[in-house]
Structure 1
Amino acid sequence: MGRFRTDDAPALIRAARLDAGLTQTQLAHRAGLRPPSLMQMEAGTQTVSGEMLERVLRAADYRPSVPLAMQADEIAACAESHGLSNPRVFGSSVRGEDDFDSDIDLLVTPSADTDLFDLALFVDDVEKLTGFPTDVVSDANLPVQLADAVREAVPL
């Protein structure tokens, strides 16, 4: 299984291409594909393997901020299902410095019943939804080294 969900390939390719400001032809050339092949992938008429999807998304420099914006409601619902509230984003995605190799940095408020397993399960859910590695930090007893993260964090 690849990093990104292949059943979402057409939407992912289109979102990445539009975010990068590329035409289908430009993205096809960057990915080393023939333009008709990319057009078929984006239209959903050609099956896309996990490896091919990652190749196309890398060529478009698909960034974590794109799926974060597209799936904010789903991510917030996942947080709530694990006893977490107030999910906020910090780091490169907030600063507009994210790229294909960036991760997602989230800050959350745990309920009194939340434990480390809840945080780990939430990380797994976000990674499956977005395809990007994710770090989640609790704002309860936050180390002083992460004070800047709290100041720059913005709601999903």
Structure 2
Amino acid sequence: MENTKLIISRRLIIRKFEEDDLNKEMEFFKEPKFHYLSDKYKPKEFIEDINLAYENKSGINFWHIVKQGINESIGCIKAVKHEDGVRIYPIINKSLRNRGYGKEAFEAVMDYFFTLGGYKKVYAKLNKKNNAFKTIVESLTLKKYDEDERYFYYQINNLDYMKFFAIFGEI
């Protein structure tokens, strides 16, 4: 998986973390869910590790989601190889939820992997208690294919995504 530097959507810029981000309020860092995605508890260590992963093209993408124009931190999104595709994990700052940022970021990253990355499937693994993420995933037409005691597992293939894109238009 080649690391990308920039994904742009209607309101967001999804980019790699930079040293200057240490000066920003990264609210998502305080979320327990974030530490499910990263074992780093200090922003400086986290950014150093992520930048090293980019340099080594390690098959992991961990982006900072910022608002266009003002470069305000919105959250983060992680993508890792999974089977014949990529699994996407977004976290939006608690104070900025329910504004469509999570859906917009997930859709932009999904579009990147299908159109530029050439992947066949996008996956999502979500906690059964996370109804907001479930709503986002289902609104983007991902289909549940499995579940266990704690998680639902969703996927969409590139053909179904192209059908969705043809019906609903540009991202």
Larger C-alpha radius of gyration, 1 or 2? 1
Structure with the higher fraction of residues in helix conformation: 1
Normalising by structure 2, report the TM-score: 0.29
Structure in which a larger fraction of residues adopt strand: 2
TM-score (norm 1): 0.30
